[in-house]
Structures are given as structure tokens and as C-alpha cells.
Structure 1
Amino acid sequence: MRILHTSDWHIGRSFHGHATLDALRGVLSDLVAQVREHEVDVVIVAGDIFDSAAPASACYTLLTGVLRDLSDAGARVIVTSGNHDSAARLGFQSSLLREGIHVVTDPLTVGRPITIADEHGPVQFYGIPFLEPALVRHLWADAAPRSQRQTIDHAMGLVRADLTDRGGRSVAVAHCFAQGVDATPGVEREIRQGSLDVVPLASFDGPDYVALGHIHGRQTLSDRVRYAGAPLHYSFGEASKPRGSWLVELDAGGLASVRWLDLPVPRRLATIRGPLEELLIDPQYADLEVAWVCAQYTDATPQLDPMRRVQARFPFCATVMHTPEGARGPDGLTYARRVGQARSDAELVDAFLSHVRDGEGASEREAAVIHDVIDERSLAEVTA
């Protein structure tokens, strides 16, 4: 049996204010083509189908179309809800879809497999929707889970108990942070904020393969426990990570092989850094003029209208950041003290500039302009 493991589509998500629906539609069309090319039997989408609990109507249209295309390509489809999804809204759609497309959103179904057979017999697919402890605790009063670790432990206990009775090959699908995740930029907010609720790898013992979602870059935690990541880059921190899915093959004995299938990147992401004028003219950046760009300019002081100027060269510049090199830091002088030390109008202006520009006073060119303005004003006052 051939299984395609994908996740975290985040239909409806924006990228620095830019819509991604068309780009995602194209990438998922390529994913359907891979399903057809590799004669995939089952497609798993491991949570975060939508980016919000109340997606726009166009998001539902895209999802319905892709699921039906996957079915037309000959695959059964198993979808679980993630933390970004509304389980109720996603689950409502399940009754409207054709046979062979399964949407798992109800915690009470955990431990009840979707059975799909091949020439070697049945394979049990155990879908585990995202389980918020506070919302499922009353369903499992004996366990009373208070963390993701406890909820997944309990859910996988139900899976193993059922699997003990049924026997045979099995696949589990879950949406969580598992132990061993590489906490690099581009993953979900909980990691970046340091509030990660980690699920140990041992919690996933039992099934032949565990398809995880929640992390936006592919990760291999063990031969049988993996994240596929998102099909699009949703942040500059993910730029170096490939987009794609895992092609998993089960034989009569269980897990036979896993290999990566790349998906195309509609528009590459790049971060460029240097003085603003250099970014605007340096030929080394010529090939990035059609890329999504994060521009970090290192000038000591903020520059005038940097986004407009950068976008004149890089039309797809998504964000501009002022990241000065060698920042001087506070020198302990208050504004009143700086101004009080000034002995002339020119020194007064220089003290103001030094205060608001991290200790950097007027440049030679700025000083000349300041003196010209002061001289003109003095002359005007004399002749008035």
C-alpha cells in the first residue's frame, strides 16, 4: 500500500498581507499529479487544513475541489483537524463528500480505525484530531488529561487497545509537538514563545507509521514517526526547508520504505542584508528581483520611505526591517543633559539628533545643511 503523508495546508493564510490561495491551489494541483503518477492508495492530511476557525467561502471551495481531485486520482483520503481548524465546521463538510473521503474531527472516534485493504490484507488508520485538554477532559473522566502529552498518551492507549484486538498493520495520524522537534524559525508560535507541550516519542509506540502535523518543515523523528510540513512557505524562517510530502509504502510485514517527494515552490523566499543603497544597486541580488524578499538594511539610522524604495527594485518585497550594525546603546545621558551642554544652535540640533539616533550626531553633510539653515535664519532676523 502506498500512502502520501501531507499536512498543514493552512488554506486561507496570508503571507505578510498577501493572499496565498492561488499559489496553494497550484501546489496542491501538483500534489494531485504526484498521487496519480505514483499510484497512491491513501492520502493523509494531518491537520490544520484551514488557517482559521472561520475560513472564507473560497477556502471551502478549494478544499472540496482538491479532495475530489484526489479521489478522482484513485486515492482514499483521510483528513484530521488541527489546532487552527474548527472541528465542527470541518466535520460538517464530511457528510457532503463522496465515499472514500474521511474527515476525522470527533475525539470520541479516537481508537476506531478507518480500515482500508490491499493485496496483503487490511490496514487500520487511526485518526487523532487535535485534542485541547480543557475541551476533551470531560470525555475521558478517568484519565482527566491536563496536557497535550496526557491527551495523546490516552488517545494512543485507545489506539493500541483496539490494535491489540484487531492485529495487523496500522497507521496513526496526529497533530501535536513531538519530542525531538527542531525548534527553529518557521515552526508554530508555542515553540518560539517557549511554552511547548512536548509529547514523548514513546507515546507513539505501536503503529507501523505515525503521520504528524503541526510543524511547517519536514522532520524525521524516527524511521516511523515523521512530519511532512506545509506545502507552502508561510514565513521567511522556513525559506531553507523544502516543500513536499512523504511517500510511505507498507508491505505484508509493515513499513517497507519512506521517501520524500518535492513540491514546486511558486516563488522563492530570500532575506537580504546590507546598507540600503547597496541593496538597491548591488548586482548580486539581481536574481532575487522576482522572489519574496525580506530586506534588512543596516544603516545606522532609519532611512526615508525604505519599503517604497526597495519595492522599486524588488516588487515582491514583503517586509523591510531596520537592523543597524554596531548599535551604540544608551550612554546614560538624558535629553535634558544633552541639550543643556549645547553652546550654539548647531550643537542644539546635533544634541537632538544624537538623542533620537542612538548616539549618532549629524554627519558632515548634515552639519553643513544645518549651518546653512541657521545662517539663513540669522540673516533673515537681522534684515527683518
Structure 2
Amino acid sequence: MRLLHTSDWHIGRSLHGADLLREQEAVLGRLADVVVAESVDVVVVAGDVYDRAVPSADATGVLDRVLMRLRSAGATVVLTPGNHDSARRLAFGAGLMARSGVYVRAATAALDEPVLLGDEHGEVAVYGLPYLEPEIARHELDVPGARSHEAVLTEAMDRVRSDLFLRPGTRSVVLAHAFVGGGVPSESERDICVGGVDLVPAPVFDGVDYVALGHLHRPQTITPRLRYSGSPLAYSFGEVGQDKQVWLVDLDAGGLAGVRALPLPTPRRLTVLTGTLAELLADPAHAAVEEHFVSARLTDDVRPTDPMRRLQTRFPHCVHLEWTGGTRGGDGRSYQERMRGRSDLEVAGEFVAHVRGGIGISDGERELLVRALGAAAREELAG
């Protein structure tokens, strides 16, 4: 049996306010092509199908079309909710969808009830563990003392192993949404840590053939049978240059036979540009990234006027702007160093020019400042 391990689709997510639905549907739609090209039997989605508990109508439309394409390509689909999803909303119509080959495993009480699939070697049990929030899951699992992710997932896996014990010779796959020890996070994941209790040791998942992990957006291998597929798109500029992929997982008669990475296309790349506004607008070296999502870090000594609008004349998908200049001048000295030894009037005049984008104070304003500073000095002496 051949599985395609994916996770963290985050349908409906934006990038600094820029809608990503078009890019998401483009890359997720390509999974159907992979199903056909690689003869994939099962596509698994290990949590965070949507980016929010109440997805928009457009986001649900994307998921509907992607699932239709996967089923038309011939793959069974198994998905579970992550910490971004509402398990109850995601599970709406689960019974009806199961009849068409799309299995939503969202009920904590039923996490030890697998989707049973078959091939020439027998049965494969696919267990979908929904994201287990400890404070809620400990009551649903009737383990009131379990107050950490490790504790509730240990109970969940004990139940999975107990069910597997009753199915001798059955190969097994577990979908789980968690932060497993050894994983490397990215900027774009929502923190599920409360005092460090989010970390789950890898041995918690012992006893199954393959564990398809979700939550971390960087593809990575914890052990040969315990892996994160990562998100299909980069969702923060901290992921610039990160290659996105899915895992192609093969099971034979003995269990896990092999895993290999398949790269995913990048509909629109992310780029971080650094320089003055004039440099970014004029430098021909940036021609190749004009259609990328751009984060601009401006180094101008004085904050430019209307920089985002001006940047978007060249980079229409510039979505983030950071001004890093102003703290040091062209001579390398800090603002404090440049102001040292200057009079109060000079410091005030410099500040006004700074916030005006380089326009200094007028003679009338200077006279007003002189009077105000003099009055302040006299009041200080009198006090």
C-alpha cells in the first residue's frame, strides 16, 4: 500500500493580509496529479486542514474541490483536525463522506477505531488522533490526572496499541498533531505550549509502523518511521528558501518498506529585500523577484513617505514592510551617539526633521521652541 503523508494545509490562511486561497488550491490540486503519477492509494492529512475554527465559505469551497480531485484520482483520504480546526465543524457530514472514501477522524472517544484498508498483504489500520487539548481531552479520555500533551497522547496511543493487539498481523499508521521532541519549529505555527508541557517524547508513538505527524511546518524526520511532512506552502517569511514537500510512504507485508520525499511546486515564492527605498525601486538585480511575495526591510536613515504604495508599483505583491534605518546614521553612529553634546534646541529640531521625513523646522517654529525651552528651564530652576 502506498500513502501520501501531508499536513497543515491551513486553508484560508493569509500572509500579512494577502489572500492565499488561489495559491493553496493550486498546490493542493497538484496532489491529485501525484496520486495518479505515483499510484497512491491513500492520502492522509495530519491536522490543521483549515486555518481557523470557523472557515470562510471560500475556504470550504477549496477543500471541497481538492477532496473531489483526490477522490477522482483514485485515492482514499483520511484527515484529522489540528489545533487550528474545530473538530466538530470539520466532522460535519463525516458519516456521509466516509461512504465516498473520505474519512474524517475527529472524535476523541473513537480514536482507537481505525479506518481499515486492504491490499494484497492484508489489512492496514489507519488511526486518526485529533488534536488533543489536555484540559479537554483528559476528561474525554477519562484520565483526569493527565494535564500535558505527553500524558493525553500516551493514553491515546495505549488505546491504539490495545486495539492493534486484537488485530494480529495488521499493519498500522497513526496520524497525530503534536510537537514531538527533536522537531524544529517555524515562525508560522501557533504555539501550543503551556509551560513547556506541549513537548511529546518520540517513544510515546512506539508500536506502530508509521506515524504521520502534523503541526510543525518544516518537513523533517524524527525517526525513520516518525516524520513531519510540513505545510504545503510557506506561511511566514521565516520560511524563505525552505523546500516544501510531501512524504511517499510504502508498506509491504512486513510493515514500513520505504519513505521518500516528493517536492511540491511553489505557486509564488517569498523574498526578503533589504536596502533603501530608492535602491529597491531602481536596482535591476531585483527584476527576477518582482512577482514574488516580498518583505521589504528599509535602511533609509529617515523614514520614507508612503513607502508601501511606492514599493507596490514595482513589487505588486509586497505584503510586509519593516523600517530598520534611523537608529544609525550613514557614519555608523547610533542616534544617541549623534545627539551627544547637542543642545536641547538642536535635539528637538533633529527630532522634528526626523518625523517629517527630513523637513526641518521653520524660523517661526525655531523661535517657538526657544521660548518653550527657556520657559521650561526657568520653571525647573524655580522648582
Normalising by structure 2, we get a TM-score of 0.86
Once the two structures are superposed, residues 198-221 of structure 1 have per-residue CA deviations (whole angstroms, 9 ceiling, x without a partner) of: 000111111111001111121111
State the match for 2:8 in structure 1. Answer: 8
Correspondent of 1:189 among 183, 188, 191: 191
Contact 1:80 1:127 in 2 (8 A): yes
Q: Distance in 1 between matches of 2:366 and 2:135?
A: 69
Distance 1:120 1:361, change over 3 A: closer
Once the two structures are superposed, residues 337-372 of structure 1 have per-residue CA deviations (whole angstroms, 9 ceiling, x without a partner) of: 97xx35xxxxx3x32244578xx8999xx6xx758x
| Other structure's SS at 2:39 match | coil
| Other structure's SS at 1:154 match | helix
Answer yes or no: is 1:173 the counterpart of 2:162.
Answer: no
Q: Which amino acid aligns with 2:185?
A: A
State the match for 2:102 in structure 1. Answer: 101
Q: Which amino acid aligns with 2:303?
A: P
Q: Distance in 2 between matches of 1:180 and 1:261?
A: 22
State the match for 2:374 in structure 1. Answer: none
Q: CA deviation at 1:310?
A: 1.2
Distance 1:376 1:72, change over 3 A: closer
Q: How does 1:11-160 map to 2 (within 5 A)?
A: 11-97=11-97, 98-142=99-143, 144-160=145-161
Contact 1:204 1:210 in 2 (8 A): yes
| Other structure's SS at 1:130 match | coil
Answer yes or no: is 1:323 the counterpart of 2:339.
Answer: no
Q: Which amino acid aligns with 1:18?
A: A
Contact 2:109 2:141 in 1 (8 A): no
Q: CA deviation at 1:194?
A: 8.1
Q: Distance in 2 between matches of 1:329 and 1:376?
A: 23
Q: Distance in 2 between matches of 1:289 and 1:362?
A: 29
Q: CA deviation at 1:181?
A: 1.1
Once the two structures are superposed, residues 309-362 of structure 1 have per-residue CA deviations (whole angstroms, 9 ceiling, x without a partner) of: 21121111111101138642657x99xx97xx35xxxxx3x32244578xx899
Q: Distance in 1 between matches of 2:352 and 2:360?
A: 16
Distance 1:273 1:196, change over 3 A: farther
Q: Which amino acid aligns with 2:208?
A: P
Contact 2:3 2:41 in 1 (8 A): yes
Contact 2:186 2:217 in 1 (8 A): no
Contact 2:175 2:212 in 1 (8 A): yes
Percent sequence identity is 44
Contact 2:148 2:197 in 1 (8 A): no
Point out 4+ residue stretches in structure 1 off by more than 4 angstroms.
193-196, 360-363, 375-378
Moved more, 210-219 or 54-63: 54-63
Distance 1:72 1:325, change over 3 A: same
Q: Which amino acid aligns with 2:204?
A: S
Structure 2 residue ranges without an equivalent (≥5): 329-333, 368-383
Contact 1:188 1:216 in 2 (8 A): no
Q: Which amino acid aligns with 2:42?
A: V
Q: Distance in 2 between matches of 1:140 and 1:24?
A: 35
Distance 1:299 1:74, change over 3 A: same
Q: Distance in 1 between matches of 2:287 and 2:216?
A: 32
Q: Give the CA RMSD over aligned residues.
A: 2.8
| Other structure's SS at 1:313 match | coil
Structure 1 residue ranges without an equivalent (≥5): 343-347, 379-384
Contact 1:353 1:361 in 2 (8 A): no
State the match for 1:345 in structure 2. Answer: none
Contact 1:353 1:362 in 2 (8 A): no
Distance 1:160 1:323, change over 3 A: same
Q: CA deviation at 1:67?
A: 1.5
Q: CA deviation at 1:195?
A: 5.2
Moved more, 252-261 or 90-99: 90-99
Q: CA deviation at 1:58?
A: 2.1
Contact 2:173 2:212 in 1 (8 A): yes
Distance 1:72 1:321, change over 3 A: same
Q: CA deviation at 1:33?
A: 0.8
Moved more, 157-166 or 133-142: 133-142
Q: Which amino acid aligns with 1:140?
A: L
Answer yes or no: is 1:198 the counterpart of 2:194.
Answer: no
Normalising by structure 1, we get a TM-score of 0.86
Distance 1:352 1:137, change over 3 A: same
State the match for 2:221 in structure 1. Answer: 220
